[in-house]
């Protein structure tokens, strides 16, 4: 989520493997910078080990600050945690309403993020 615009992106990953996380974040940085015309300045994570491998050198190479909160302290990044909860509930509601199986959760979460990005926010 962009702190300035509150725009959200979502990628469904089959696992938290370090290399996979790195590849998706690398892809996201390129997309975000191309679409906004601005450089990514800071990347905030929850201190999970999936960010330690390939990602940290990549962020350093691009001059992006990596702000980590201590692991297992969800209260340290409350806005992101609340957003995760709201989007998860929206995706579940979509699946239940459409009577769709759980395997469609990635599509439902993408739909929830799309709808959320269409809403006005109170900056």
- Residues 17, 52, single domain; the answer is yes
72-106 tens-digit pLDDT = 666 666 777 788 888 889 999 999 999 999 889 89
pTM value is 0.70
Close Cβ partners of 62 (under 8 Å, ≥ 6 residues apart): 29, 40
Quote the CA–CA distance of 50 and 15 in Å, as a whole number.
10
Quote the CA–CA distance of 31 and 55 in Å, as a whole number.
17
- Residues 28, 47, single domain; the answer is yes
- Residues 17, 67, single domain; the answer is yes
Number of structural domains the chain divides into: 2
- Residues 67, 32, single domain; the answer is yes
Dihedral sign (CA 94, 22, 47, 37): negative
- Residues 58, 105, single domain; the answer is no
Give a yes or no: residue 4 inside a domain. no
37-75 tens-digit pLDDT = 888 888 877 766 666 777 788 888 888 888 877 766 666
Quote the CA–CA distance of 64 and 78 in Å, as a whole number.
22
């Amino acid at each position: 989520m962009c702190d300035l615009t509150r725009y959200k992106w979502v990628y469904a990953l089959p696992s938290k493997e370090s290399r996979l996380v790195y590849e998706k974040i690398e892809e996201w940085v390129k997309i975000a910078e191309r679409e906004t015309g601005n450089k990514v300045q800071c990347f905030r994570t929850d201190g999970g080990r999936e960010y330690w491998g390939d990602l940290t050198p990549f962020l350093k190479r691009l001059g992006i600050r990596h702000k980590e909160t201590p692991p297992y302290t969800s209260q340290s990044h409350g806005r992101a945690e609340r957003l995760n909860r709201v989007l998860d509930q929206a995706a579940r509601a979509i699946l239940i309403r459409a009577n769709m199986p759980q395997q469609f959760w990635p599509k439902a979460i993408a739909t929830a993020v799309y709808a959320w990005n269409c809403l006005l926010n109170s900056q």
